Structure 1
Amino acid sequence: MTERESAADIEAAAARWVVRADRGDLDPAELDVWLAADTRRQGAYVRAQAAWGLLDRGRVLGGEERAAPPRRRIDRRGLLAGLGAAAAACVAVVVAPRLLSARYGTTLGEIRRVPLADGSLAAINTDTTLEVAMKPRRREVRLDRGEVWFQVAKDADRPFVVESGPVRVRAVGTAFSVRRRDGGCEVLVTEGVVEVWSEGAGEAPRRVTAGERVFASDSAGAARPVLASLEITRELAWREGQIVLDGEAFGAAAQEFNRYNARKIVIADPDLAEQKLVGWFRTNEPESFARAAAASFGARVTVRGDAILVQSVAPLAE
């Protein structure tokens, strides 16, 4: 059985990658493969970059006004070991906002997958803004609007906390999504356990486990979690650019498509909006979806500028 790479080995390897980058002989594709193989490597690489930056800054601040005294030659292995140690020792420096605080956003229809500095991963849905701050004792994310799925790197000493309005979601190492809605947040847990609560609601945090979902009201706190494994899988299909329907109403499905597209689906007849649908569709193909739905209902589709109008052409069957 292959032994898991130690933290020290990862720090040393990260230092070697940074040195190669500084020399200009780094293959970005090769680095991407190395980073993707272990979530811990992403954080190690950031720390190594910070340590190397400090060495460069030290050279600049030292100036060149005086001739430097002769120095004992340091071999490459010693430099790399020192850089690895410096990277591990300057976590407090790496926490500087320029390095570990970042703001991310997506436009209408855009979906991004972003590696975070601690080794976590964020999949960011359409029309979303969030800010990430890696602090010494806590990893903080503020979700202003939209939806994000997080795969959190384990770090028992630094909880991972998402803030959205008064709603809070806390995890250590797990995977979950948070979607900002009117009046609160919907939380879906795909791995591990999280705690959900609302500041000022006066209630204890709710524990939500893998396969469960919960809505946390801004004012009343989190409701009782509901087991919904299959629903969660469908609702997170957006990570692959998909919308999966299994008995959802046409009106609700149209609203989901409208989240991703400037061209909006407009349903002219209320009875049509109540019809149920089953199917798999791409988030960026609202017209194809509308035409498929209309064909199954005996309706017609008319495209007028940025509107995809769906109308009945005959009374719907009882």
Structure 2
Amino acid sequence: MTDHTLSQAEYDAITDAAAHWCMRLHATDCTAEERLAFEQWRDAHPLHAFEYEAMLEIWDVAGDLPRPESAVPAVRLRPATPWRTFGIAAAVCALALPLAAYTGWNLGWLPNAYQHFEATDNVRQVTLSDGSQVELNLGSELTFSNYKDQRRVTLKKGEVFFSVSHDTQHPFIVKAADGRIRVTGTQFNVWMYEDQVRVNLIEGSVLVTSNGALPGEGSRLEPAMQARYRHGDFTPQISQTSANDHSLAWRSGKLVLDDLTLTDALPLINRYLNKPVMIADHSTGSIRLGGIYNIKELNNLVASLPKVLPVYLTRNKDGNPVLNSIPQQTPKS
């Protein structure tokens, strides 16, 4: 579990490493082992990839910079020897090191703060570096990056309640599955399971799009409205939330199922389970389930379902529990 805002020394160390890898990968004597080591370094932390991409931009731009003849001798276009590549790379990276962080931030390429949060066995409350308050449900994970022109959250899994600090100059954008939620300051809840996303607005307003690659700002939500989308949806489905909406019951440690079909109830349950429950067929999915449950005890609910519903449990080849409806006997005439 990580809850860490990078210090200036740590940030500078990443910039230094990015400059080193930029130099080595452009060298003619770069080995396959080095390239593998670079990939491992790049994938170890999101900022590694961000910083390396910024370094590549500086590398490319530096190649086009005019050089006064009195200061820097002209370089003939000929195959570069390792020492020549090293010298050019060192010169570019020497220029890049003091400028990379500033340039990356100033152009909106790199964040000046990065945070990663997870909640495993307990609901967790955290404060982002911009002052926003965030509450993570069990089994939830997100990252936060603060850029010059925006604040960006990536919800990797789970459910989160946001109370966003108001800043009209720096919109707050949450990426969830294929879509995004854009605000400047408000309170809202985002639930995600696999490719399904549900956004509930409590206060303020948000813009929701089901596909971040599509043009346009998205659909606007007002308080007491909800947006749903999943992979492939062109636009989110918008609806009013009912007066007895229980979507925020998790903040009190509860899951409320209000007479839902198993098709609708299982995604809400499965988000808390290591092995999601499957449905055998459509008739099983149409069986309805209600009740109030402790979110820490939902594994016990699965085992008890045959006691309260006309179903029985089997296992598929992957070990997932499968709910099967009990056939209804036709009365004899």
Q: What TM-score do you get using the length of structure 2 for normalisation?
A: 0.54
| Letter in structure 2 aligned against 1:100 | A
Shift, 1:166, TM fit: 4.9
The answer to whether the Cα contact below 8 Å between 2:139 and 2:158 also exists between their aligned partners in 1 is yes
Aligned match of 2:249: 237
Distance 2:168 2:141 in 1: 27
Distance 2:303 2:183 in 1: 42
Distance 1:102 1:199 in 2: 22
Shift, 1:147, TM fit: 2.8
Label 1:239 to 1:316 Cα distance change in 2 as closer, same or farther (>3 A).
farther
Query: Structure 1 residue 210 and structure 2 residue 223: aligned?
Result: yes
Superposition map of 1:11-30 within 5 A:
none
The answer to whether the Cα contact below 8 Å between 1:110 and 1:260 also exists between their aligned partners in 2 is no
Aligned match of 1:121: 133
Shift, 1:188, TM fit: 1.7
The answer to whether the Cα contact below 8 Å between 2:112 and 2:145 also exists between their aligned partners in 1 is no
The answer to whether the Cα contact below 8 Å between 2:208 and 2:236 also exists between their aligned partners in 1 is no
Shift, 1:307, TM fit: 6.4
The answer to whether the Cα contact below 8 Å between 1:261 and 1:284 also exists between their aligned partners in 2 is no
Aligned match of 2:214: 201
| Letter in structure 2 aligned against 1:235 | S
Shift, 1:312, TM fit: 6.0
The answer to whether the Cα contact below 8 Å between 1:149 and 1:178 also exists between their aligned partners in 2 is yes
For residue 154 of structure 1, the aligned residue among 151, 156, 166 is 166
Label 1:173 to 1:110 Cα distance change in 2 as closer, same or farther (>3 A).
same
Shift, 1:151, TM fit: 1.0
Shift, 1:175, TM fit: 0.9
Shift, 1:221, TM fit: 4.5
Distance 2:167 2:305 in 1: 46
**Structure 1: tracts of 5 or more residues without a match:** 1-45, 51-91
Q: Deviations over 1:214-261 (max 9, x none)?
A: 135666553352112447x32232222211011111354344323213
**Structure 2: tracts of 5 or more residues without a match:** 8-104
| Letter in structure 1 aligned against 2:154 | R
Distance 2:231 2:326 in 1: 43
The answer to whether the Cα contact below 8 Å between 1:167 and 1:184 also exists between their aligned partners in 2 is no
Distance 1:316 1:118 in 2: 61
3-state secondary structure, aligned to 1:295: helix
3-state secondary structure, aligned to 1:286: helix
Label 1:317 to 1:140 Cα distance change in 2 as closer, same or farther (>3 A).
farther
Q: Deviations over 1:128-174 (max 9, x none)?
A: 33211223442221223333221112223322111235522111221
Aligned match of 1:34: none
3-state secondary structure, aligned to 1:200: coil
Shift, 1:309, TM fit: 6.7
For residue 201 of structure 2, the aligned residue among 183, 189, 201 is 189
Shift, 1:189, TM fit: 0.9
Distance 2:266 2:111 in 1: 40
Q: What TM-score do you get using the length of structure 1 for normalisation?
A: 0.56
Superposition map of 1:275-314 within 5 A:
275-290=287-302, 293-297=305-309
The answer to whether the Cα contact below 8 Å between 1:302 and 1:310 also exists between their aligned partners in 2 is yes
Query: Structure 1 residue 101 and structure 2 residue 117: aligned?
Result: no
3-state secondary structure, aligned to 1:146: strand
Distance 2:191 2:163 in 1: 15
Q: How many residues align?
A: 227
Distance 1:140 1:287 in 2: 34
The answer to whether the Cα contact below 8 Å between 1:201 and 1:219 also exists between their aligned partners in 2 is no
The answer to whether the Cα contact below 8 Å between 1:206 and 1:224 also exists between their aligned partners in 2 is no
Identity of aligned residues (%): 24
Query: Structure 1 residue 260 and structure 2 residue 260: aligned?
Result: no
Aligned match of 1:66: none
Distance 1:189 1:267 in 2: 31
Label 1:260 to 1:177 Cα distance change in 2 as closer, same or farther (>3 A).
same
Q: Deviations over 1:176-213 (max 9, x none)?
A: 12334555643221111011234332344221111111
